[in-house]
Chain A
């Protein structure tokens, strides 16, 4: 009985080791490394440079940014970025311009995804929500002001 469980154990660990060796289970392939430099940036420009290497984005009417004009509770501001009208969307980034760390989230899309993201973000005060879309190597953006009546950071 002991011999049997021992064999089972060695077989199981052997299989995992093979998977790791083949690069199937390495953490980097499972989840990408977090961009701490961009996320700790204090301005939207620095944050964008941290992600895309450039902060100059041109305003585009093809990006639909949906956010409330007045957010009653800044801690849960629904934001939707619809860039399905833009061809070749590679990535969407959402920033809140006056947050202590403006970068909220960054989405990278592979072939099987459409340029669409909907989420809820925290906003400390009245400010602009900025959506930056990278498509065909170019940076496009859309901006909208959201008035916050109650702060989003526990205040």
Chain B
């Protein structure tokens, strides 16, 4: 059956992200009641002054972290795509961390079990998205990202025509 992808995840727009770490602070506060980027589910990477991006779990369709876990501690919700960690089973071996291409699942510095973004399910919405001063973060699906990319590409292809229409309206 053909079905629209409904799994939502937090995505950062590289054009808007400025590397300010507000997302890290609000994440660690929400989840750990403390300001500590080391405990944030979303991490900021600054390659140089121009290249900044916040990275977190993308709720992969076929998540390598789940596949890599030898202890079956990780499971993915069929409905939402969220990865959940069974804290009793996880022994912090780190196979999932190695399997994730995005560094989105991490070992907790104190609990010694892995943790990953859960879209702040207890709050109803991801707090990083709510707080991002640049509105660089959004909760979105891969289909919507693809749609937006296509629209941007077509607008660029037809720059002149787009300007004309804007003038007309």
Q: Do A and B bind each other?
A: no
